[in-house]
């Protein structure tokens, strides 16, 4: 257990979602007192329900678009640190619901930062955006934190806007000695057990394999920076620890992406998932339906996090896929989802510590 989290008051927005549930479980396991603020779970089933997370955290049902409710929760929970994950997270849904996407992803971020500013007492804030916040030029070079924000679709654009909001609040309001230190974090395409979202590759594969039907694949040659959810969350936690320690140089934007060789095409993920799943894993079928624009090539440069934080991936992509198959096979066979998730968190924490120690030796 990391002693820096023992007894810490932590607010996680979006704790009913896939990433938020993993993060809340990890923080609770380290001894933090976690309050969660979010809409009801966005999927059925959900990791939030399967792991009985409401029994472990102070669960507050609310919408980040509701400033009054969000501010009330911040005031009541008096957090030392806030992880802001609440968002509309799906590219294709953003085409159908652009107003809701911008309201959640941009104004939700404004509301969170303003609630923290007006309440006071918060030491650190970590705002989670996306690797898609960059102006994607479809080039071979990975994006660095200093590259311009952009976004073709409403989702990606909203995440670029959220980054601009974070930068504005950091410069305009959070410069004094007693103000919270504020960072934004940009991860790759996060995958892991317990994700049942629609229009995401790995959940779509799991659903198809469990049903014994052929999965529909939209863009088999699209390349993404895939990584296990714990890789990204481990980086977020490391940033929060530095901010809580008062290290102002970490109040900035940070990339947490996989190794270069783990930026793989969709078809590679499909092949490895099928090989790991075995029984019931039918070959894919190309989705012939309408396809709005999605980026074809995306990579992240995480050199800064490696150099300044000592953060580095502990799992290669093949191992990450193995962990996903293991999670879903275990839970599908009736094992307790909370225990399976906590076991993977403990295993990952040990591997990550070993990876950092080996790199520092």
87 vs 96: CA distance, rounded Å: 15
> H or E element: which one contains 216?
strand 216-217
> Going by C-beta distance under 8 Å and a sequence separation of 6 or more, which residues neighbour residue 142?
225, 257, 260, 263, 299, 300, 301
Tokens (6 digits) for 293: 């624009």
34 by DSSP, 3-state: which?
Answer: strand
| DSSP-assigned states of every residue in 73-97 | HHHHH--SEEEE--S---HHHHHH-
Using DSSP bridges, classify how beta strands 216-217 and 263-265 pair: parallel, antiparallel or unpaired: unpaired
CA angle 142, 252, 30 (to 5 degrees): 100
pLDDT tens digits, 284-310 = 998 776 666 565 567 789 999 999 999
Answer yes or no: are the C-beta atoms of 202 and 239 closer than 8 Å: no
Beta-bridge mates of residue 58: 35
pLDDT tens digits, 139-181 = 678 888 898 889 889 999 999 999 999 999 999 999 999 999 9
Answer yes or no: are the C-beta atoms of 267 and 221 closer than 8 Å: yes
Mean pLDDT of 254-276: 93
**360 pLDDT band (50/70/90 cuts)?**
low
For residue 66, the model assigns a pLDDT of 98
Q: Which residue has the tokens 């076991």?
A: 343
Q: Which residue has the tokens 């008062």?
A: 246
DSSP code, position 282: P
pLDDT tens digits, 201-253 = 999 999 999 999 999 998 888 888 899 999 999 999 999 999 999 999 999 99
298 by DSSP, 3-state: which?
Answer: coil
Q: Which residue has the tokens 């029984």?
A: 279
Instruction: Count CB-CB contacts under 10 A for residue 33.
Output: 18
Q: Which residue would you say has higher pLDDT here, 7 or 120?
A: 7
**195 pLDDT band (50/70/90 cuts)?**
very high
Closest CA to 220 of 155, 278, 269, 283: 269
> Going by C-beta distance under 8 Å and a sequence separation of 6 or more, which residues neighbour residue 78?
9, 119, 121
DSSP code, position 300: B
> H or E element: which one contains 41?
none
- Reply yes or no on whether the pLDDT at 261 is more than 60: yes
For residue 152, the model assigns a pLDDT of 84
238 vs 233: CA distance, rounded Å: 9
Closest CA to 7 of 22, 23, 28, 25: 28
* Size of the chain in residues: 361
| DSSP-assigned states of every residue in 133-158 | GB-----SSPBPTTSPB--SSHHHHH
pTM as predicted = 0.95
258 vs 41: CA distance, rounded Å: 28
Tokens (6 digits) for 253: 């934007």
For residue 361, the model assigns a pLDDT of 58
């Amino acid at each position: 257990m990391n002693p820096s989290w023992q007894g810490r008051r932590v607010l996680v927005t979006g704790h009913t979602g896939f990433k938020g549930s993993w993060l809340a479980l990890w923080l609770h396991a380290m001894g933090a007192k976690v309050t969660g603020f979010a809409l009801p779970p966005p999927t059925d089933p959900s990791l939030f329900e399967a792991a009985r997370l409401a029994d472990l955290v102070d669960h507050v049902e609310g919408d980040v678009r509701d400033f009054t409710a969000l501010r009330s929760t911040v005031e009541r929970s008096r957090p030392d640190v806030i992880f802001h994950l609440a968002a509309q997270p799906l590219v294709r849904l953003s085409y159908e619901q652009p107003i809701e996407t911008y309201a959640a992803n941009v104004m939700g971020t404004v509301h969170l930062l303003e609630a923290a500013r007006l309440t006071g007492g918060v030491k650190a804030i970590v705002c989670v955006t996306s690797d898609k916040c960059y102006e994607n030029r479809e080039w071979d070079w990975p994006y660095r934190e200093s590259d311009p924000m952009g976004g073709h679709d409403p989702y990606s654009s909203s995440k670029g806007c959220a980054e601009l909001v974070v930068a504005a609040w950091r410069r305009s309001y959070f410069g004094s000695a007693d103000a919270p230190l504020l960072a934004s974090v940009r991860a790759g395409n996060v995958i892991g057990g317990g994700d049942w979202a629609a229009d995401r590759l790995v959940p779509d594969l799991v659903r198809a394999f469990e049903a014994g039907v052929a999965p529909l694949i939209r863009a088999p040659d699209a390349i993404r920076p895939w990584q296990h959810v714990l890789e990204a969350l481990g980086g977020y936690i490391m940033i929060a620890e530095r901010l809580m320690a008062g290290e102002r140089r970490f109040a900035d934007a940070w990339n947490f992406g996989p190794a270069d060789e783990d930026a793989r095409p969709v078809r590679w993920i499909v092949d490895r998932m099928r090989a790991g799943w075995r029984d019931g894993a039918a070959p894919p079928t190309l989705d012939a339906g309408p396809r709005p624009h999605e980026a074809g090539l995306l990579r992240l440069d995480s050199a800064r996090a490696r150099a300044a934080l000592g953060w580095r991936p502990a799992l290669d992509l093949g191992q990450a896929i193995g962990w996903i198959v293991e999670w879903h096979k275990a839970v599908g066979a009736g094992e307790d989802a909370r225990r399976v998730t906590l076991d993977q968190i403990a295993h990952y924490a040990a591997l990550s510590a070993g990876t950092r120690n080996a790199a520092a030796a």
